Amino acid sequence: MRRKQWILHKDHLLPFLRKLRKSRSLVAPVRNSYGDTMYTEMNDLDNESIELAEQPQNSLKSFFFPQREKLCHYSVDEAVGDSAQAYRFYPSLPESRAVVYFGVRSCDMFAVMYCDTIFLGGRERDVYYDARRRNALFITLACNHPFENCFCNAARTGPYLEMGYDLQFTDLGDRYFVEVDKARGREVVQQWPQFFVPAGDDDRQAHYQAALESRGLFRRQVHVDLAVQLLDQGEEPQALLAELSARCQDCGGCAFICPTCTCFNIVDQPLSDDRGERVRTWDACTFDGFTRMAGNHNSVQIISQRVTKRFYHKLRDDVLRHGRSSCVGCGRCVGMCFGGVDIVRFIDGLCAADDKRSEKREDGHD
Amino acid sequence: MTERSIRTIDSQVMTGRAGRLRLTSKNPYVPRSAIIREITRETDSVSTFVMSFIDELENNSFSYQPGQFMMVSVAHQGEAPISISSSSLQSDFFSLTIRNSGRLTKAMHSLKPGNVIGLRGPYGTAFPLEEMQGRNLLIVGGGIGMAPLRSVVHTCCRQPDHFGKVSVLYGSQNPGELCFQSEMQSWKEAGVDCRLIVDAADNGWQHQVGLVTDLLTDEFRPQKKKDLALVCGPGIMIRFVIQRLEELGYSPENIFTTLERHMKCGFGLCGHCHCREKLVCVDGPVFRRSQLGVLEDL
C-alpha cells in the first residue's frame, strides 16, 4: 500500500519550500506592510514571512481568474481598393506557469474545485482559466483555529479536507502531519523524501485529536443545510430579500471577495480607431446593469430583488446544477459588507422565519 | 506541424463551435469574421442582415437549428446575443434580424453590405424540428420576437410536406413595427395561414386591432393532442399568450417559447442570463413551457 501520511518537521518547512521554488513560483499567505495577510506570490523567502495564523483576506480566485484580463486584441482595417474590410481577433492566452500554492485554507481549496467545475466542466472549456490552473500544486493547511466569521463546518468544506488537495498539512506543534491525496502531491514526497518521515500512531492520534478540537471551536452556528432545504422546498422569503436588497449599496464587494463568485463581464476597450482589446472583468449580480438589456428592459426588479440571485445561486441553483451549495463558509462577505447583507444574515433570516412558523404550528397543535 | 502553428491556425480560422466539425484545442471566446452580404430594411428600427463567414471552410462546416443564437461582435462595441432568423436548410447564407435598441445594435445599423462583423456560435437550444415533423404548428410572435420564429416559418415554407397546418399569429404595437411584411405573401403561397394584429392601427390597416392574445380564439384550439405552439415576444406577451394557449387546451409539454436575456459568453459561464436555476444560454433560449414554472419573471 502506498503510504499516505507523513511527518514534516517545522524546521524543514523553509528548506522544503525552497526546493519547491526551484521549479515553481510560490504563492502563500504573507503579511504585507499594511498588516494585511494576503495570498501573495513570494519572490524572496528570506525577507518575506509566511503568515499562517491569520485568514488571508483574498482567496485564490484571482490567481486563476484575474479581476481584469485581456482575452484578445482586435484590429479593424477599412476597405482599401480591392481589399475588403477586415475585423480580426488575436487571442492572448496566459502562459501556463508551474505554481505551488502553500498554506491554502480548506474553504479556499474547495472554492478552487468549484471554479474547476464552472470553468472546465461545462460545454466549453475556459482556456484562460485552464492555462493558469493546469500546473498548480496545492499544499493546504487544515484549520485548527477557525476564524471569527468562519462556518466551513456548516458549509461542509472544512476545517479539514478529505479530498481535493495535493498535500494537506496539519499543524501538530513542532511538526506538520502531511496527507497525500492527488498524484502531484505524491510526486513531491517522492522527489524530496529527505523531508518526510512516515507518520506513526502517536502522530495519527495527535492529528485526530486536533481535528476533533477544531470542530468544537466554531463561534458561529450557521444552518446552511436547513437554508438549502427550505429553498429546495420552494420557500421564497420575499420580505427578507427586499429588506436585504434595500440595505445593499451596490458596491459588489461580496461578489469580488467571494471565492466562488465567478460571474464576469466582457467589454471592448478601444485603443485607437483601428484596434482595441477585448477584456474580461469580474462582475457582480447585485449591480444594476447585470441583467439590463438594450432598451432598458430588466428581468430583475432591482429595488426588491437585487440580492436574490446571489443567495439563490449559492444555496439553491448550484445545488440543483452541481449537487451542492457553492457557499464555502469562509465568512469573508460577513467582514466585507458594511450594510450587513452577507449570506449569514440571509441564512439566519430564512431559518428564523421557519422557526417562527414551526412555533406557530406547535402552538396550533396545543 | 508544431503545436504552436496548429494553435495559430486554430485561433485565426477554426476557433469557435464550427457546427458539426468540432475542432480541438479551441478558444471559445474568439469570434470568426463574417461579411454582410445584404441588408433588408424591415421597419424604421429593424433590419435583416444576410451574412456569411469570410472563410470558406467556416461556411462549409457551419450549421445551426431554428431558435439558436449567435454572439455578434461589432468593432469596438463588444458582443450581444442575436437570434438567427433564417432557415437552417439554406446553406450558404444565414440572417440576423436586429432592432436598433442599444449601443451595439445602433452600430450594427450603421454598417453596409461588405462590412465585417465577428460571430461566435451557434449557441443554445433549438425548436424541436424532429418533434415538429407531421404536426400542426401554431406560431405566435410579438414585435422583434418574430425573428427566431421566422427561422421556423422559412423551414416550414421550404418543406411544406414535413409539417401539418402552420399558422402564424403576429402582433406589434403599430403597422410600422411589423417585420417581414414584404415576404409574408410568399409565406401564404407556401400554405402558411398568416394573421396580423396591431395595438394602434393607421389608415391603411386592413387587419385586426388589439393584442395578439385576441387572435387566439377558439379557432386555434389544438386539433390534435400533439399540436405544438411556439411563442416569442416581450416577456409580458409570452406570459399572457402561454396562459391563453393553456386555456385553449395546449399541454405544457407542447408549448415552446424562447427567452431573451443579457449575455456575455453564450456557453454557460458568465452568469448573466440566469432565469431562476436555469441559464438561458445553455438550457435555453428555447424552453418547453413545462420547464419554466411561474412566468412572472420572464
Give B70-111 pLDDT, tens digit per residue. 999 999 999 999 999 999 887 789 999 999 999 999 999 999
Query: Rounded to an integer, what distance in angstroms lies between the CA atom of residue B191 and that of residue B62?
Result: 29
CA distances from A79 to A83, A86, B111 (A): 6, 7, 13
Residue of B nearest to A290 (CA): B272
Same domain, A22 and A136: yes
Do both A125 and A168 map to the same domain?
A: yes
DSSP state of B262: -
A102-106, A300-304, B120-124: least confidently modelled range = A300-304
Mutate which of B26, B277, B294, B298 to test chain A, going by most A C-beta atoms within 10 A?
A: B277
Per residue in B161-219, pLDDT tens? 999 999 999 999 999 999 999 999 999 999 999 999 999 999 899 999 999 999 999 99
- Number of domains present in the structure of chain A: 2
Confidence grade of residue A1 (pLDDT, cut at 50, 70, 90): very low
In a domain, A71, yes or no: no
Interface test with B, best of A83, A85, A310, A320 (most B CBs within 10 A): A85
C-alpha span between A33 and A36 (Å, rounded): 7
> Hey, how many other C-beta atoms are within 10 angstroms of the C-beta on A305?
18
Co-location of A250 and A330 in the same domain:
yes
pLDDT for the residue numbered A39: 98
Tell me what ipTM this predicted complex has. 0.90
Q: What is the pLDDT of residues B237-278, one digit of tens each?
A: 999 999 999 999 999 999 999 999 999 999 999 999 988 889
The residue range of the domain holding A297 is: 224-272+285-355
**Which of A171, A195, A214 is the C-terminal boundary of a domain?**
A214
Which domain-ending residue is among A194, A214, A234? A214
Give CA torsion, residues B198, B202, B203, B208, to 10 deg: 10
pLDDT tens by residue, B219-237:
999 999 999 999 999 999 9
3-state secondary structure of B62: coil
Residue B7: predicted pLDDT:
39
Of A166, A190, A214, the residue at which a domain comes to its end is A214
A299/B298 touch (CB, cutoff 8 Å), yes or no: yes
Percent of chain A with pLDDT over 70: 99
Task: Give residue A135's pLDDT band: very low, low, confident or very high (50, 70, 90).
Answer: very high
Q: Quick check: A22 pLDDT over 60? A: yes
Assess whether A26 and A101 both reside in one domain.
yes
Contact A263 B270 (CB under 8 A): yes
| Domain shared by A339 and A234, yes or no | yes
Q: Does B260 touch chain A (CB under 8 A)?
A: yes
A192 in a domain, yes or no? yes
pLDDT band of residue A79 (cuts 50, 70, 90) is: confident
Start-to-end CA span in chain B (Å): 50
CA distance A303 to A290: 13
Q: Angle at CA A119, nearest 5°, toward A117 and A125?
A: 115
Q: B57-60: long-range contacts (C-beta < 8 A, 24 or more apart)?
A: B57/B13, B57/B14, B58/B13, B58/B14, B58/B18, B58/B32, B59/B92
* Cell numbers standing for residue B64: 445551426
| Domain co-membership, A29 together with A140 | yes
> How sure is the predictor about A294, in pLDDT bands with cuts at 50, 70 and 90?
confident
Question: Is residue A232 a part of any domain in this protein?
Answer: yes
State the pLDDT at residue A365. 59
Note the pLDDT tens digit of each residue in A227-284.
999 999 999 999 999 999 999 999 999 999 999 999 999 999 999 999 999 999 999 9
Q: Is residue A307 part of a domain?
A: yes
Q: Is the pLDDT of residue A366 over 60?
A: no
- CA B158 to centroid of chain Cα atoms: 17
Chain A residues with CB under 8 Å of B73 CB are 74, 87, 89, 268
pLDDT of residue A301: 85
A307 has pLDDT over 90: yes
Q: Which three cell numbers stand for residue A178?
A: 502531511
**A264 and A142, same domain (yes or no):** no
Whether the predicted pLDDT of A87 surpasses 70: yes
Average pLDDT over residues A17-21: 95
The confidence band for A360, taking pLDDT boundaries of 50, 70 and 90, is confident
Q: What pLDDT sits at residue A333?
A: 96
Q: How confident is the model at residue B140 (pLDDT cuts 50, 70, 90)?
A: very high
A141: which strand partners? A105, A169
Q: How far is CA A141 from CA A52, A57, A169, in A?
A: 8, 16, 5
pLDDT of residue B3: 41
Residues of B in contact with A134 (CB under 8 A): none
The DSSP 8-state label assigned to residue A173 in this structure reads: S
pLDDT of residue A364: 65
**For residue B211, what are the contacts with CB-CB under 8 A and spacing of at least 6?**
B171, B197, B199, B237, B240
Pick from A211, A114, A102: which is nearest to A166 by CA? A102
Is A320 in the same domain as A350?
yes
Task: State the average pLDDT over residues B16-20.
Answer: 39
Asked whether residue A162 is domain-assigned, the answer is: yes
For residue B297, the model assigns a pLDDT of 72
Does the structure show a pLDDT above 80 at A113? yes
Q: Is B270 annotated among the ligand-binding residues?
A: yes
CA B128 to chain centre: 13
Q: Which residues contact A195 (CB under 8 A, 6 or more apart)?
A: A8, A12, A15, A16, A19
Domain assignment present for residue A79? The answer is no
- Nearest CB to A265 within list B35, B264, B282: B264
A202 lies in the same domain as A252: no
Is B35 within 8 Å of chain A by CB?
yes
Is A91 in Cβ contact with B11 (below 8 Å)?
A: yes
Computed over every residue of chain B, the mean pLDDT equals 90
- Does residue A365 belong to any structural domain of this protein? no
Contact flag A276-B235 (C-beta cutoff 8 Å): no
Q: Does B77 touch chain A (CB under 8 A)?
A: yes
| Nearest Cβ partner for A76 among B75, B101, B269 | B75
Q: For residues B140 and B163, what is the distance between their CA atoms, to the nearest angstrom?
A: 17
Cα–Cα distance measured from residue B141 to residue B172, given in angstroms and rounded to the nearest whole number: 9
Q: Does the annotation flag B265 for ligand binding?
A: yes
Q: Flag whether residue B33 sits within 8 Å of chain A, measured between CB atoms.
A: yes
Same domain, A265 and A351: yes
The helix/strand/coil state of B141 is strand
Question: Which of A91, A128, A268 is the closest to B78 by Cβ?
Answer: A268
Quick one: A168 and A259 in the same domain?
Answer: no
The pLDDT score that the predictor gives to residue B9 is 38
CB contact under 8 Å between A262 and B269, yes or no, is: yes
Angle ∠(B19,B21,B25) on CA atoms, nearest 5: 110
Quick check: A286 pLDDT over 70?
yes
In a domain, A364, yes or no: no
Verify that A167 and A233 share a domain, yes or no. Answer: no
pLDDT of residue B92: 83
| CB burial readout B110-139, b (16+ within 10 A) else e | ebeeebbbbbbbbbbbbbbbeebeebbbbb
